[in-house]
Amino acid sequence: MDEDIGDELDQISVSESAICEVEQTKLMPHFLVPTMPMEVDREIKQLKNTQSVGYDGVCTKVININENFDGFTVLLKRHDIDCDISILTESWLVSDPLLPNLNGYSSYATTKHALQNDEIVVYPKSDINITFEEPTFLEGNCLVMKLGHETAIIAIYH
């Protein structure tokens, strides 16, 4: 595994999103996103000690999914991360369009390629009822994931 991608995959932290509705605001799922390596263990412990009201997930730049997917799965296993949805950007599917298999998860990838290395790949757990839409997004990729009638996750890579 390339050391650079290993370092990038180790750089994760917890963020919270919110669904804004007219009458109320609900706390959304926790998602892991890249940040500083020294914060990784603290942030993962914080994630494990919080109660999510939605879905938990990981979002990271994988830089060529077919070369670096093993490193990503090692990261999930090493930190005992059992997420509902994994979102991977900069997947480089133009060079190799086959998606790696992740046991217990289905997969979906963007099909509109604005750049050679810009694709978004999503791995939701197989038992999650999810629909995908890929709106036109100039100079990048956009993938809208709808989970039921009340939750949507929008992944954008530009």
Mean pLDDT by runs of 10 across the 158 residues of the chain is: 49 44 34 45 55 73 86 82 88 84 94 79 94 85 86 84
117 lies in a domain?
A: yes
79 lies in a domain?
A: yes
Question: Are the C-beta atoms of 137 and 111 separated by less than 8 Å?
Answer: no
What pLDDT is recorded for position 21? Answer: 36
Alpha helices in 21-140 (DSSP H): 40-48, 65-78
Strands (E) in 21-111, as ranges, are: 25-34, 57-61, 85-89, 108-109
| Burial of 25: CB neighbours in 10 Å, binned 0-12, 13-18, 19+ | exposed
93 lies in a domain?
A: yes
Q: Which 8-state DSSP code applies to residue 100?
A: P
Domain range holding 51?
Answer: 3-128
29 lies in a domain?
A: yes
What pLDDT is recorded for position 76? Answer: 82
39 lies in a domain?
A: yes
- Number of alpha helices (DSSP H) and beta strands (DSSP E) in the chain: 3, 9
144 lies in a domain?
A: no
Going by C-alpha positions, the residue among 59, 71, 25, 32 that lies closest to residue 48 is 32
Going by C-alpha positions, the residue among 14, 20, 128, 4 that lies closest to residue 61 is 4
What pLDDT is recorded for position 123? Answer: 96
Query: Number of folded domains in the chain?
Result: 1
pTM flag (> 0.85): no
Question: Are the C-beta atoms of 109 and 89 separated by less than 8 Å?
Answer: no
What pLDDT is recorded for position 90? Answer: 85
137 lies in a domain?
A: no
21 lies in a domain?
A: yes
Residue type, 45: K
